Amino acid sequence: MVEDILVDIKKDYVLSKLREGERIDGRKFDEFRKIEIQTNVISKAEGSALVKLGNTQVIVGIKMQIGEPFPDTPDKGIIITNAELVPLASPTFEPGPPDEFSIELARVVDRGIRESEAVDLNKLCIEEGEKVWLIFIDIHALDDDGNLLDASSLAAISALLMTTVPAERFEVGDNYPLPVRNLPVSVTSLVIGDKFLVDPSKDEVSVGNTFLTITTDQDDNIVAMQKSGSYLLKEDKFFEILDVSLSKAREIREYLKNI
């Protein structure tokens, strides 16, 4: 009862600030929270990264092993992405098999990496039709304060940038850096009426579940898009969100280049 009252009060506060043209944390509508990236945080992984997006924290580890290629791509490596939302990260996360949100999160992150051709999978072929490198991208949410998707996407590409192919361990040659050739960046906006908020915090998410995530590559191509919630988005509003998403992605990409 008391918790419900507090939730309603918080929602009213968020909405009242939006009507005044403000966000509760003082950010501009198109402003991300502070981004921090730490790399090589898991010693036993081939690559890893911890991303803090405000109070949201996500860690990604990359593991690689040798396996058989898919029949339709006998000369290409394989990417497999999984997401785990541990109960400690949020009271809404429950133990057990992956739920709908964790599956969606993994798919959107995977799609951005795959469709941007961020990793040159042709260079991960060991023996055509027989042996290729498998890349396992494991996403773990540590603290959910909103916008896990962008934090996960950023952690995934950061970890891939740090990854070394462990060829020596499998006796197939010398170790070499994972051939990363593109930097996809996702930008998620919360759509509320005629307004939209980039990088919504958990308090802001309490007032709506209508999101648009746009992932772009370093040439400003849209490589993935995810619309959540049942709402109609006018064409002019979509292009407004797209312009902001492209601009924010460019800023984040420059940050990535310096990690």
6 band by pLDDT with thresholds 50, 70 and 90: low
The pLDDT score that the predictor gives to residue 2 is 42
Q: Region 26-39: what's the mean pLDDT? A: 97
The pLDDT score that the predictor gives to residue 65 is 98
Task: Write down all domains in the chain, each with its CATH number in brackets.
Answer: 23-256 (3.30.230.70)
* Separation of alpha carbons 110 and 137, rounded Å: 9
Q: Region 127-149: what's the mean pLDDT? A: 97
- Got the DSSP string for 115-184? HTT-B-GGGGEEETTTEEEEEEEEEEEEE-SS-HHHHHHHHHHHHHHT-EE-TTTTTSS--EE--B----
- In the beta sheet, which residues pair with residue 185? 216
Flag whether pLDDT at 5 surpasses 70.
no
Flag whether pLDDT at 213 surpasses 50.
yes
Tell me the pLDDT tens digit for each residue of 191-206: 998 899 999 999 999 8
Mean per-residue pLDDT over the chain, rounded = 93
Which amino acid type is present at position 112? G
141 band by pLDDT with thresholds 50, 70 and 90: very high
The pLDDT score that the predictor gives to residue 88 is 73
Of 211, 220, 224, 37, nearest to 113 by C-alpha is 224
Flag whether pLDDT at 9 surpasses 90.
no
Share of the chain above pLDDT 70, in %: 97
Q: Region 133-149: what's the mean pLDDT? A: 97
Q: Region 225-251: what's the mean pLDDT? A: 93
- Got the DSSP string for the chain? -HHHHHHHHHHHHHHHHHHTT--TTS--TT-PPPEEEEE---TTSSEEEEEEETTEEEEEEEEEEEEPPPTT-TTS-EEEEEEEE-GGG-TT--SSS--HHHHHHHHHHHHHHHHTT-B-GGGGEEETTTEEEEEEEEEEEEE-SS-HHHHHHHHHHHHHHT-EE-TTTTTSS--EE--B----EEEEEEEETTEEEES--HHHHTT---EEEEEE-TTS-EEEEEEESS----HHHHHHHHHHHHHHHHHHHHHHTT-
Q: Region 104-125: what's the mean pLDDT? A: 97
Of 179, 193, 208, 204, nearest to 120 by C-alpha is 179
* Separation of alpha carbons 34 and 253, rounded Å: 14
The pLDDT score that the predictor gives to residue 3 is 52
- Statement: the pTM of the whole predicted model exceeds 0.85: yes
Tell me the pLDDT tens digit for each residue of 142-181: 999 999 999 999 999 999 999 999 999 999 999 999 999 9
* Separation of alpha carbons 146 and 243, rounded Å: 22
Between 43 and 86, the more confident residue is: 43
